[in-house]
Amino acid sequence: MNVDAEEAFEAVVDEVVKTAPRIADGFADGRTYEGDENPSGHEVLGADLHANRLLKECITDLEGVGGFASEEEEGVVDCGDGVGVAVDPLDGSSNLVTNNPAGVILGVYDAPLPSPGEGLVGAGYVLFGPLTTAVVADGDGVVEYVVETERGEEGAEGVRVDERELTLPEPTVYGFGGGRENWTDGFAGFADEVEHELKLRYGGSMVGDVNQVLHKGGIFAYPALRERPQGKLRTLFEGAPMAYIIETAGGGSSDGEGSLLEREPDGVHDRTPVYLGNETVIERLEEEV
Ligand code: P6P
């Protein structure tokens, strides 16, 4: 059966939402480091490995999925013909130790991986906070759902309820990662201005911090750093999918030069500076960094 990219995107979103409660079931026992490092050189928690295992199993089995890439996998897992699915299986997992938000970030590309963000047919995230929500963006816009858990003989499954469309409001909040002592002079000068105009909202997980900007308007940045000009965040799993969501909601994105969706990733684990938010703020940013 030839599953077109949009159908495949919907099927992948359904599977990720369905799997969300089982990912969360692994949090309590998954808050210790397993001693391994992922391909980006970050220590992994049991919960990271649990989330990756569940998502890899359910996504690679789907009709219409041709490739699977994950922050926790070295290369692209080939599963035939179809869309390329890139996931950060548990973004912000270190927040589990302090019981702060974490989540799953998802990008579905109608192109072989690694692909620039222009190849995205849709993107989304599941946010584990006081409640679990899912944000889904495709050609029709951005919709947020509450994810409820149904527990039956098959175990726990997530179901989407209570949908509402999201568009980016006027800017009110900012969240900047990396630490001021590591910022370039250009970004530090930009931050000096923004910190007097907007309210600080930074929780150490991209999925939680971008969700704040999506709801309240403003800017999220994990900038180029003096010692790490490419910054920390990954293009395929974090930068491009979140840029797709924010741009679909009416905002803008940048890697310091131009839209994150135009960035050609240098490999599956390519890193990029990430700036996401209202277009007016992103334009000012690009003049100053
Ligand atoms: P820092 C989480 O580890 C993550 O990859 C993103 O979710 C988050 O935006 C960033 O790193 C936080 O990094 O340096 O502030 O701890």
Query: ipTM score here?
Result: 0.98
CATH fold of the domain at 3-166? Fructose-1,6-Bisphosphatase; Chain A, domain 1 (3.30.540)
Give me ligand 1 centre to Cα 153, in Å: 37
Q: What is the pLDDT of residue 41?
A: 80
Predicted TM-score (pTM) of the model is 0.96
Q: Is 205 in the pocket of ligand 1 (CB under 6 A)?
A: yes
Helix (H, G, I), strand (E, B) or coil at 23: helix
| Same fold for the pair 3-166 and 173-288 | no
Which residue's CA is minimally distant from atom 14 of ligand 1? Answer: 178
C-alpha 262 – ligand 1 centre gap (Å): 23
Residue 16 tokens, joined: 């990720």
Q: How high is the pLDDT of residue 3?
A: 67
User: Is there a binding annotation on residue 92?
Assistant: yes
DSSP tag of 249: T
Q: Of 67, 68, 69, 71, which is closest to residue 37 (Cα–Cα)?
A: 71
206 ligand 1 Cβ < 6 A: yes
**Interaxial angle between packed helices 185-194 and 279-288, expressed in degrees from 0 to 180 and rounded to the nearest 10:** 140
| Position in ligand 1 atom list of the atom nearest CA 222 | 9
**204 Cβ below 6 A of ligand 1:** yes
**Given the CA of residue 208, which atom of ligand 1 is nearest to it?**
7
Q: Is 91 annotated as a binding residue?
A: yes
In the chain, domain spans: 3-166, 173-288
Q: From ligand 1's centre to the CA of 45, what distance in Å?
A: 14
- Written as tens digits, the pLDDT of the chain (289 aa) is 456 999 999 999 999 999 999 999 999 998 888 778 888 888 888 999 999 999 999 999 999 999 999 999 999 999 999 999 999 999 999 999 999 999 999 999 999 999 999 999 999 999 999 999 999 999 999 999 999 999 988 889 999 999 999 999 999 999 999 999 999 999 999 999 999 999 999 999 999 999 999 999 999 999 999 999 999 999 999 999 999 999 999 999 999 999 999 999 999 999 999 999 999 999 999 999 8
* CATH number of this structure's domain 173-288: 3.40.190.80
Per-residue model confidence (pLDDT) at position 1:
42
- Extended strands (E) in the chain: 33-37, 43-45, 65-70, 77-78, 83-91, 102-109, 120-128, 132-138, 141-152, 155-165, 173-176, 199-200, 218-222, 252-254, 274-277
pLDDT at residue 283, as a whole number:
97
d(CA 213, CA 234): 19
User: Residue-wise over 156-180: b if at least 16 C-beta within 10 A, else e?
Assistant: bbbebeeeeebebbebbbbbbbbee
Give the Å distance between the CA of 74 and the centre of ligand 1.
Answer: 20
Q: Could you tell me whether strands 65-70 and 77-78 are parallel, antiparallel, or unpaired per DSSP bridges? A: antiparallel
